[in-house]
Structure 1
Amino acid sequence: MLSRFDYFRPDNLQDALEYLNNNAGTNILAGGTDIMLELRSNKIDVKNLLDIKEIPETKVLSYTPGEGLFIGASVPVNRISEDATIRGKYPALVHSTDALASYQIRNRATLVGNICHASPGADTSAPLLVYNAKVHIVSSEGTRIVELPDFFTGVKKTTVKDNEIVIGVSLPDVEDDEKSLYLRKSRIKGHDLCNVGLAMRLKENGEMYVAIAAVEPIPIRLLELEKSLANKELTEDVAPWIQEEIKKYINPRKTSVRSSAEYRYHIAGVLAKRGYLNLIEKGAN
C-alpha cells in the first residue's frame, strides 16, 4: 500500500518552482517508472510529489541543425527511439533507449528520469557522455547548465538541489559522417539490468570518444584511453590493444550484486574490441 502524500501537477514552470520552494524535500515525478516502484515497496518516504509532465518546457523534443538536440524532462523514451532524425544523428543514444527496460515501460520512462535516478548502470548515461550532453536545471533563481560528467556525484546522487528541477538535456550537433554505437552486456538476454554499458563515437577527424557505465559508482568518460587512441592509426591491429588497454582506466566495484569485478574487466575489454571494430567497419566476432 502506498503511503499518504500530497500530489501536485502544475501546468507551468512558475507554479512548480513555487511549490518546491514551499515544500522542502519534494520528490519529482516525470515518467514515474522508478519512483512508483520505490513507493510501493516502501523504499522511500514521500511527503510531497510534484508531477512535471504537464509543464510545456518538459515536453520539448527538438533538433536544430548547427545547434543540436534538446530532450525535455517528460519526453518518453519511445519518442526518442522512434524519431527518424535522432536515429540518424545520434545512433548510440537510440541503441541505449532501445535497450532500456521493455517497450511498455519505455512508453512511460523518460531519459531525464534515467539520469536523475543516477544508477551507475543507467543505459543512456554513456551515450550522453560521448555526445557531450549538458543538463538544464532551473530554480526560482534562474537556469544553470551542467556538463554531464559534473552532474553525477555518487550512486543515486546528483548535483540537483531541493529547490531545482531538471528541465531537459541538450546534445551539441554532430557531424554528418561520424559514427557512434552503444553496446551492453546484461546478466541474461532480454531487458535485464546492465552489467557493463559502453558507448563509442568516432568523429570525422579520427577522434574517438569512449564512455562506460555500470562499472564504477558513476558513469565515466575514459579520457585517458581517448588520449592513447589519439596516437594510434585506427586499423584492425588496434583491436586487441584496446581490449586490454581499457582495463587500465576502469575500477569495477567489488560490492556489486550484478557481477564480479573480474567479470566486468573482461566484458569491458570484449565490448571495447567489438565496438572499435564496428566503428572502423571491419566487423567483429
Structure 2
Amino acid sequence: MEPFEYVKPASPAEASAILAAEGSAARILQGGTDLIIRMRGDFVHPKIVVDLKGLPGIREVAYNPANGLTLGAAVTMNEVAAHPLIHAHYLMLAEACETIGSYQLRNRATIGGNVCNASPAGDSIPALLCYDATAVIYNPAGERRLPLMNFFKGPGKTDLQPGEFLLALTLPEPHEAAVGVYNKLGRTRVGDIALLGVGVLGWPQPANPSGSGWRIALASVGPTPLMAPEAAALLAENTDDEAVEAAAAAVMNASRPIDDVRASGAYRQAMVRVLARRAIEDVLARLPM
C-alpha cells in the first residue's frame, strides 16, 4: 500500500472543499471494507483519504411517521439490520442488509458505501429502491436530492460530481400493511456476493383492480440495479396464479444479465424468474387484502 494523507473533516462544507480540491486523488472512507482491499491490492492509489464518519448526523438513524426514515450514509449494515424502527417499518431493508458478508464485515460496512460502490450486486439497493429511497447529496453549494434510481450510471459509476458525497438516504413511510421480501441467490448460503437478487414490495391499494400496489427491484442482472415496472403493473391488475407467472416472466424480461466467472447470463435470467415468483407468492401469502 502506497503512502497517503488521512484527513477527518469536521463539517460537510470542509469535506466537500477537500474533495473538490483534490479531485480524483481523493477517496472517501466510511467503512473501508472495499477501499482498503482495493488499496492493498494496488487497484487504487489515493493521495488523500477523507474520513467522513465524524460529520454531524452521518452515523444517525432518524424516523418519524410524517417524514419517514433518514439513514446517515455511515450507518453500518449491522446497525440497519438490528434497528427496531427499521424492523418495524422497513423490514425488507433490514433483512437484505443481513445477507451482506459476515457479521464482522457488517460491523464496518456502511449503507452509504454499499450504495456508492454502485455495484449491480449491492444487496441493500433493491430494498432501498422498493421503498422509493432518495439520495441526499452534499456539494459545495449545499445539498441536492436525487431519486436513488437515478443515482446509478453504470458499474461502479454514480451521479456524484466533483466535491460531492452522499450524506444520507431518505425513505418515505410505506403503507402500514406493506410486505417486503428480498430473495438472494449466491454460490454459498451466507456471505457471498449475489449472483442475483430480487426485492418485492406489496401493499393494499384498493384503487387498483387487484387491490394491491407493487414495486419490484433487481440486483446483479444488469449494468445497474433495475426496476421491473411492467411486472408491478401486471400485479396491480391481477394476482391470480396466471398473473403471478406472467409477472415473474416480466421480471425475467426486465433483466439484462451477463456471463461472468460466477454464473452465466442464461442461468441468471432463468433463476430471476424463479426467485421473483417465490417472492411474489411470499408477499401475497402475508398481504392483507
> TM-score, structure 1 length as denominator?
0.94
Q: Is the counterpart of residue 59 in structure 1 residue 59 in structure 2? A: yes
Contact 2:30–2:52 (CA under 8 A) maintained in structure 1 = yes
Aligned position for 1:275: 279
What is the CA–CA distance in structure 2 between the aligned matches of 1:152 and 1:231, rounded to whole Å?
A: 30
What is the CA–CA distance in structure 2 between the aligned matches of 1:228 and 1:47, rounded to whole Å?
A: 51
Aligned position for 1:9: 8
* Greater mean deviation of Cα atoms: 6-15 or 196-205: 6-15
Cα 1:275–1:140, aligned 2, differ >3 Å: closer, same or farther?
same
Match among 252, 260, 264 for residue 264 of structure 2: 260
Aligned residues: CA RMSD: 1.5
Contact 2:186–2:192 (CA under 8 A) maintained in structure 1 = yes
Match among 226, 240, 246 for residue 245 of structure 2: 240
What is the CA–CA distance in structure 2 between the aligned matches of 1:21 and 1:160, rounded to whole Å?
A: 11
Structure 1 unpaired stretches of 5+:
none
Contact 2:228–2:250 (CA under 8 A) maintained in structure 1 = no
Contact 1:247–1:269 (CA under 8 A) maintained in structure 2 = yes
Give matches, 1:19-58, under 5 Å.
19-25=18-24, 26-58=26-58
Give matches, 1:127-166, under 5 Å.
127-166=127-166
Contact 2:120–2:155 (CA under 8 A) maintained in structure 1 = yes
Question: For each residue in 1:62-88, what CA deviation from the matched residue of structure 2 results, as whole angstroms up to 9, or x when unmatched?
Answer: 111121101101111111111111012
Contact 1:65–1:173 (CA under 8 A) maintained in structure 2 = yes
What is the CA–CA distance in structure 1 between the aligned matches of 2:178 and 2:240, rounded to whole Å?
A: 16
Question: For each residue in 1:118-150, what CA deviation from the matched residue of structure 2 results, as whole angstroms up to 9, or x when unmatched?
Answer: 111000111111111010111111111011111
What is the CA–CA distance in structure 1 between the aligned matches of 2:241 and 2:84, rounded to whole Å?
A: 31
Contact 1:135–1:145 (CA under 8 A) maintained in structure 2 = yes
Aligned position for 2:217: 211
What is the CA–CA distance in structure 2 between the aligned matches of 1:243 and 1:194, rounded to whole Å?
A: 19
Question: For each residue in 1:72-105, what CA deviation from the matched residue of structure 2 results, as whole angstroms up to 9, or x when unmatched?
Answer: 0111111111111101211111111010111001
Structure 1 residue ranges (4+ consecutive) displaced by more than 4 angstroms after TM superposition: none
* Greater mean deviation of Cα atoms: 21-30 or 130-139: 21-30
What is the CA–CA distance in structure 2 between the aligned matches of 1:251 and 1:18, rounded to whole Å?
A: 38
Contact 1:137–1:165 (CA under 8 A) maintained in structure 2 = yes
What is the CA–CA distance in structure 1 between the aligned matches of 2:70 and 2:252, rounded to whole Å?
A: 33
Aligned position for 1:229: 235
Contact 2:232–2:247 (CA under 8 A) maintained in structure 1 = no
Question: For each residue in 1:174-233, what CA deviation from the matched residue of structure 2 results, as whole angstroms up to 9, or x when unmatched?
Answer: 11111111110001222111011100000121011101010000001111222222222x
Opposite residue 220 of structure 1, the aligned amino acid is: L
Aligned residues: 280
What is the CA–CA distance in structure 2 between the aligned matches of 1:249 and 1:22, rounded to whole Å?
A: 40
Contact 1:122–1:213 (CA under 8 A) maintained in structure 2 = yes
- Post-superposition shift, 1:252? 1.3
Contact 2:234–2:243 (CA under 8 A) maintained in structure 1 = no
* Greater mean deviation of Cα atoms: 190-199 or 56-65: 56-65
Structure 1 residue matching 2:39: 3-state secondary structure: helix
Cα 1:11–1:189, aligned 2, differ >3 Å: closer, same or farther?
same
Structure 2 unpaired stretches of 5+:
206-211
- Post-superposition shift, 1:57? 2.5
Give matches, 1:68-217, under 5 Å.
68-205=68-205, 206-217=212-223
- Post-superposition shift, 1:237? 4.4
Opposite residue 13 of structure 1, the aligned amino acid is: P
Opposite residue 20 of structure 2, the aligned amino acid is: N
Aligned position for 2:208: none
Opposite residue 243 of structure 2, the aligned amino acid is: V
